[in-house]
Amino acid sequence: MPIIFQSPGTDLFHSGAQILVNPVNTRGVMGAGLARQFKRHYPGMFAAYRDRCRAGLVQIGAIDVHVIQDGLPSRVIIANFPTKEHWRHASQLQWIELGLVALRQMIIESHARSIAVPPLGCGLGGLDWDEVSSRIVQSMIPVAEIGIDVLLYPPAAP
């Protein structure tokens, strides 16, 4: 299956992907950007994420997984992907790289057929989309090669 670049401004929440990647910080705050939209769509996930952050369980380089049972047998997996430590600070490219290793493993273990990946760290995190997208593509090639659809969302047009 291919890595499919979506059009800027396309809604990740309507992608139909089984895994939705949510760029987060490790402090338990989803006050802006895409994370805030995830908080509105999945308030139960937010509460669990906040509690896990307070317990020190959400870390750079690890994926915080939440399974949302929408109905039988439908489910959505939220992959909270830490792109920064504190919400006020910038993201770091090396943190994206570390997280992508964990994300790739999580995707394979989940047996999901599709994943929607936003521009990790490129919005409020301040990273360059060209640098980030090349790393996402490189990391997701093995995932696509085993038949998993990878939907890649660029930053929204200004």
Give me the phi and psi of 18, to 5 degrees please. -75, -30
Q: For residue 31, what are its two tokens?
A: 């006050």
Of the candidates 84, 117, 148, 153, the residue annotated as catalytic is 84
C-beta of residue 100 within 8 angstroms of C-beta of residue 136: yes
Task: State yes or no: is 84 an active-site residue.
Answer: yes
Q: Is 145 exposed, middle or buried (0-12, 13-18, 19+ CB in 10 A)?
A: exposed
> Which residues belong to the active site?
84
